[in-house]
Structure 1
């Protein structure tokens, strides 16, 4: 069954009166963890609730995880209930990076069977359309309904290690080409990519105006890449965020995509450092 993917600003404007609508503002900045909430308070789509990618859509980073490990299922279930999200909710999530951050929330929620969409063009598209913007903070109406959360599309570090022997899937890196090639690495202690991985930066899913390319255009581009891949794809990036944008784009194009190595390069880099330390011991 096709997954829900994108809505336009016009479509969202028409949805605002729906009782079961939940709008999530997921603006996030890796180098300033407080900025997302600050820009949300300054101005957001009417009725939108702020969701913190670092604290609500991820658990605490450890020496063995990537930067944004998934929260425990029960923790995410509690978070969804606190946001008033049930199995009957229509959820729209947006950011100001053409879906690069919003796609993480989309991927986490859509695998729970929730009808969740990403706002095409993000907050900029809403502003450009001239629709109403409000300031301050909206408080959610929590629900007692608890969604049973699981992560069937999660791929672990152990899965990636085992894949070197069994070769069940192809890794695809969503980072920029220079970081993939070990250049200009500013986030992680080791530069490069996981051996055998291929690269398609998530920005290639976007047109010059910051909107998702048309399904037909995406299908053509991805199909040309897929003709060289005989195995299912597992998507990764730096910390399991922008990889979800490639999954979103694939589904928008009508192509199957689900699985993400959430630990991504930030977890793999830590593994490499441990192996180096072990060899030097």
Structure 2
């Protein structure tokens, strides 16, 4: 049984070139921001357009709001429209396992697009199966996207602060266990996690071959969250890979919100407490 939100390479290959299908390549490396686009120009799925995390899927960094604030919605909609996206388009996104495609999926869903799917297994599986690749850049084509923001998709730092103090929400940290514990922090000025947060690394939603675990497997992963009865909020370093956990939760039939600023926003406030170690910890007034 095929999971909603995913498309298999066989199915995409049969629909390449269809007028109502738009494909986006979202490959990106945080340590080398231009590597993804270079790789795209060297070869990509035929007809795929490129979305750059920092130019297309984010707005410029400010004092607060994290390293990758949400984009300007009208500019984002225009970027999709110039690639041929319409309200009823079938939009397919993929990356090379970095967790960027789910960011694009979440943003598109947030502005009101309903038919958005991730390529199961991404670029690596496409290549592994010997499917067609091209360096030819697609030509812009007319589209139209209306911004219809979905209410209740996000929380801000004030909501998270109150949750940390009062335990009104279930906070989920989607970063690696080492970053959650505070053993390492390669990107942000402080190491650790938001007090009260539990750790569900986003990569654990995927198998070793890069395909997504089944809805049943995702439900087992998140059984502790489902039983809490509280609203779920997910964060990561800057609101990007948290979207992969949100996607896995949707496969599991769970609803959750995104803290877009995530850890990089949290630690931009000097008075915010930080917890370390394997345990969630608690707010210390």
TM-score between both structures, scaled by the size of structure 1: 0.90
Q: Structure 1 residue 257 and structure 2 residue 247: aligned?
A: no
Looking at structure 2, the residues matched to 190 and 154 of structure 1 have their Cα atoms a distance apart, in angstroms, of 24
Partner of 1:239 in structure 2?
238
Assess, with a 3 A threshold, how the Cα gap between structure 1 residues 161 and 201 changes in structure 2: closer, same or farther.
same
Partner of 1:107 in structure 2?
106
Looking at structure 2, the residues matched to 136 and 273 of structure 1 have their Cα atoms a distance apart, in angstroms, of 51
8 A Cα contact 1:59 1:70, kept in partner: yes
After TM superposition, list the pairs within 5 Å mapping 1:217-232 onto structure 2.
Answer: 217-223=217-223, 225-226=224-225, 229-232=228-231
Assess, with a 3 A threshold, how the Cα gap between structure 1 residues 4 and 217 changes in structure 2: closer, same or farther.
closer
C-alpha displacement of 1:160: 1.2
Looking at structure 1, the residues matched to 206 and 70 of structure 2 have their Cα atoms a distance apart, in angstroms, of 26
Deviations 1:6-64 (A, max 9, x none): 11111111221421100000001111111111000101001000011111110000111
8 A Cα contact 1:236 1:261, kept in partner: yes
* 3-state SS, counterpart of residue 93 of structure 2: strand
C-alpha displacement of 1:163: 2.6
8 A Cα contact 1:46 1:132, kept in partner: yes
Partner of 1:127 in structure 2?
127
Deviations 1:91-119 (A, max 9, x none): 00000016x11000001112313310011
Deviates more, 1:186-195 or 1:78-87: 78-87
Is there any run of 5+ residues in structure 1 with no aligned partner, and where? 277-281
After TM superposition, list the pairs within 5 Å mapping 1:12-27 onto structure 2.
Answer: 12-27=12-27
Deviates more, 1:175-184 or 1:145-154: 145-154
Looking at structure 1, the residues matched to 142 and 29 of structure 2 have their Cα atoms a distance apart, in angstroms, of 27
Partner of 2:265 in structure 1?
267
Deviates more, 1:89-98 or 1:265-274: 265-274
Looking at structure 1, the residues matched to 95 and 77 of structure 2 have their Cα atoms a distance apart, in angstroms, of 22
TM-score between both structures, scaled by the size of structure 2: 0.89
Is there any run of 5+ residues in structure 2 with no aligned partner, and where? 275-285
Partner of 2:96 in structure 1?
96
C-alpha displacement of 1:228: 5.0
8 A Cα contact 1:4 1:116, kept in partner: no
Deviations 1:192-224 (A, max 9, x none): 11111110001111112121112222222222x
C-alpha displacement of 1:151: 5.2
Partner of 1:47 in structure 2?
47
Looking at structure 1, the residues matched to 150 and 263 of structure 2 have their Cα atoms a distance apart, in angstroms, of 20
Partner of 1:161 in structure 2?
161
